[in-house]
Structure 1
Amino acid sequence: MTNDLEKFIKNAININNIDTPVYRIFSYERFIELITTNQLVLVQPSMWDDPYENFFLKTEVVSDDGEFGSLESLCNSWYGQCWTENEDTDAMWRIYSPEKRGVRVKTTIRKLFLTLYDTSDTNCSLKYFIGKVNYKDKEEIIEFMNSTTFSEFILGGQNTQFAEVLCTKRTAFSHENEIRLIVDDIGHKHGRGGYIK
């Protein structure tokens, strides 16, 4: 138990209670795939819907020597899956199960994170994160990106800085109460075609 808590302290972003229930609506087909393969499917952030999440990826950042660079290439190794603290909302059913063939899955933040966190991986503390999304207005997002240097993303502690960026979303989506499971596929060993299992 203590070992689990240590993992959460180092790799949890804005999480106050690791036993908080979280939910996700899967299409029937994805749910059957989950049960059959016993694997979660995470996607690259470039596949997420909100253009302001993709805005992070396309933003130019300044290196310490004044050169401009993009976060897009850094993001190619990152994958995520979105869950919610909302037990049941009509909007989520409409978005994620438009044909009314969805399945709602319930777990806890702790259980969700531990399905992914691979202690046999020597880089596990650099790769696996779970975070509660921090909702900001458009101006706050732009100001944050304008005031952040490239080296702050690269050297921002145990990959936490970049994981925090992936846990930032516009205030317009705050009703989603999102929790994100995030992986950095260091060395691109597992991801294929924008997905990782």
Structure 2
Amino acid sequence: MAFNPKNVFDLPDLDVPIYRIFPVDRFRQVMEGRKLALVRPASWEDKFENVLLKSKASINTKEIVGLCDLREKMYGQCWMLCPDSEAMWKLYSFPSELPSRWFHRAVYKVNRWLNGLPHKQEGVKVRTTPRKLFTAFFKDSEQYCDLCYFIGRVRYMPQQDIESMLKDEDQVTSLVLDSTGRGHAQSLLFKRDSFSHEQEVRLIYAANDGSFDPNRALYLSDVAPNSLFEEVSLDPRLATVERDDSIARIRSWGYQGPINQSTLNIPPHFTVDLDA
């Protein structure tokens, strides 16, 4: 399967590692259902997301129109270039828990999650590359594939620069009225620089092939997990007994590749020399 390189944005090295953290139940769904789920950007926490297609537009007749028809056709999934990040573990696992829950159990000498829900929402991180991900995602057998499938690196900009861009008639017109669909996809690839630690790469689907269903909350893409995921890493907060149990469960779901645990929460042990 081949993809159109024009649908790849700001990713000069397609073989660099990228990562995604799933809550464990979502990872199980990927393994057993063999599908990746892309969501509408409206569900993302940052309310500045997709700000262009949330805007109203003034056309030559001075009529004010909404861009909701374009906005509702877009679906995305976020990956990251950062190999390991405590902030991202917190963001993508335990989505419903309070920050006060976030302590490593080793401090308290307990062998369960502090919220009393063992193995419910801990994170599972997978590694792949943009090339593998987009090759699996891009359906080159479809007539309108070039209008629908995109991948790109997020650009992080000061908020005032984003606001200036939205006031640039030529730039906005080139994005909104781009008949290739690439402008619509690129509108999802800029974000305020206060989020730059995320180092995001986004997989984007645009329902530009006539199949758009306004009631469809997800776009599901077929994948072969054992071919796509080069490695699985477990949540750094898992105790040893939980780690071993998680490995067994992930194997039972069919994953055949390497499994390790993030080392973020392993305390360092040094012997230092004193000149005394």
**TM-score > 0.5 by shorter chain:** yes
> 1:7, CA displacement in angstroms?
1.6
Instruction: State the alpha-carbon separation in 1 of the partners of residues 215 and 132 from structure 2.
Output: 25
Identity of paired residues, percent?
35
Counterpart in the other structure of 1:138: 159
The amino acid across from 1:101 in the alignment is E
Aligned residues: 193
Counterpart in the other structure of 2:11: 15
Asked if 1 retains the 8 angstrom alpha-carbon contact of 2:80 and 2:199, the reply is yes
> 1:154, CA displacement in angstroms?
3.9
2:138 pairs with one of 96, 108, 117: 117
> 1:19, CA displacement in angstroms?
0.7
Q: What does the per-residue CA deviation read over 1:145-165, in whole Å, with 9 as the maximum and x for residues that have no partner?
A: 122366533432511111111
Alignment gaps of 5+ in structure 1: none
Counterpart in the other structure of 1:195: 218
Residues 1-197 of structure 1 mapped to structure 2, 5 A cutoff: 4=2, 7-8=4-5, 10-98=6-94, 101-148=122-169, 151-186=173-208, 187-189=210-212, 192-197=215-220
Name the one with the larger helix percent: 1
Instruction: State the alpha-carbon separation in 1 of the partners of residues 154 and 64 from structure 2.
Output: 27
Highest relative contact order (Cα 8 Å, sep 6+), 1 or 2? 1
Instruction: State the alpha-carbon separation in 2 of the partners of residues 114 and 106 from structure 1.
Output: 15
Alignment gaps of 5+ in structure 2: 95-112, 114-120, 221-276
Instruction: State the alpha-carbon separation in 1 of the partners of residues 79 and 185 from structure 2.
Output: 16
Q: Tell me the SS of whatever aligns to 1:158.
A: coil
Query: Which entry has the higher C-alpha Rg, 1 or 2?
Result: 2
Kindly report the root-mean-square deviation, in angstroms, between the aligned alpha carbons of the 2 structures: 2.0
In structure 2, relative to structure 1, the CA distance for the partners of 1:170 and 1:185 (3 Å cut) is same
